[in-house]
Amino acid sequence: MIGQTQKPIEEILEFLDGKEKVVLVGCGGCATVFHTGGETEVKEMADTLSQHGKNILAAIAVPFGEFTCYAPWSKERLKPYRKQIEECDAILMMSCGDGFQVVRQLVLEDEFGLVKPMYPATDAIGHMGGGPTLFREKCMQCGECVLGQYAGICPMTQCAKGLLNGPCGGSKNGKCEQEPEHDCAWILIYERLKKLGEMGKIKEFVPAKDYSKMKRPRQIEVAPL
């Protein structure tokens, strides 16, 4: 899931300066779990912005489970609000950058033929997993998963330096020198490989990573569901 926090209201008001008629779009995916764009937050944002003198033409709440980054769903969700979107001065998108850019390009531009000012209400902070309350970055989508080599612990995300032939000399009391609350990933990898009887893996030289698999922006074409 995409971990996210809501931008400070001051920043949002700066975006919307001079824009009176606003449409809010939430997201039923990660934004609901992280309380940045769920039904509750959309309602709250509508109230807050109204108090600041904005005219909320539509506050589009999206039920939990429906992620706006999946274009077929976003198109259906936004079609009934086409008029309000056409009329508004700005759209405030309460989701991560995936949902934002899908709505902007595939729905508003490609489907409705509209080019409108659109602003983010959210800062995405990492591809995370966990819950119900604590989430932590797990995967950085390197394109070449090496979890099989490291006893199921990803050194790219769990090691602050992303070392493949770790550790560095910086661990103190089994914790990372950058984040004293975080366990040194290499100590975890060592201990898990030991339990699995696979110590050979940590003794092997791992060659340099192929970062061409992370050339931006990546894309893929698949059969529809």
Partner 1 sequence: MSLKPSLEAGKFVVTTEVGPLKGTDTTELEEVAELLLGRVDATNVTDQQSSVMRLGSLATCHLLKQRGLDPVFQMTCRDRNRLALQSDLLSAYVLGIENVLAITGDLPSLGDHPQAKPVYDLDSVQLLWVIGRLNEGYDMVGNELKGKPNFFPGAVVNPGADTETAFELQLIKMEKKIAQGAKFFQTQAIYDVETFAKFMKRVEGFGVPVLAGIIPLKSVGMARFMNKNVAGVFVPDELINKMAEAEDKAKTGIEIAANLIKELKDISQGVHIMAIGSEKRVPQILDAAGL
Please say whether the beta carbons of 138 and 165 come within 8 A. Answer: no
* DSSP secondary structure code for residue 20 in this structure: -
Select 67 or 190, whichever has its Cβ closest to partner 1: 190
- Give me the least distance between CB of 152 and partner 1, in Å please: 17
Residue 142 found at the interface with partner 1 (CB under 8 A): no
Q: Report how far residue 122's alpha carbon sits from residue 97's, in angstroms, rounded to the nearest whole number.
A: 8
Q: Which long-range contacts (CB under 8 A, 24 or more apart) does 129-138 make?
A: 129/1, 131/33, 135/1, 135/3, 135/34, 137/3
- Give me the least distance between CB of 198 and partner 1, in Å please: 13
Segment holding 6, helix H or strand E: strand 2-6
Please say whether the beta carbons of 200 and 160 come within 8 A. Answer: no
Residue 185 found at the interface with partner 1 (CB under 8 A): no
- Give me the least distance between CB of 96 and partner 1, in Å please: 21
Residue span 161-180 as binding mask against partner 1, x where in contact by CB under 8 A, dash where not: xxxxxxxxxxxxxx--xx--
Select 215 or 223, whichever has its Cβ closest to partner 1: 215
Residue 125 found at the interface with partner 1 (CB under 8 A): no
Site for partner 1 in 54-83 (CB under 8 A): none
Residue 13 found at the interface with partner 1 (CB under 8 A): no
Beta bridge partners of 24: 59, 92
Q: Which residues bind partner 1 (CB under 8 A)?
A: 160-174, 177-178, 184, 186-187, 190-191, 202-203, 205-209, 211
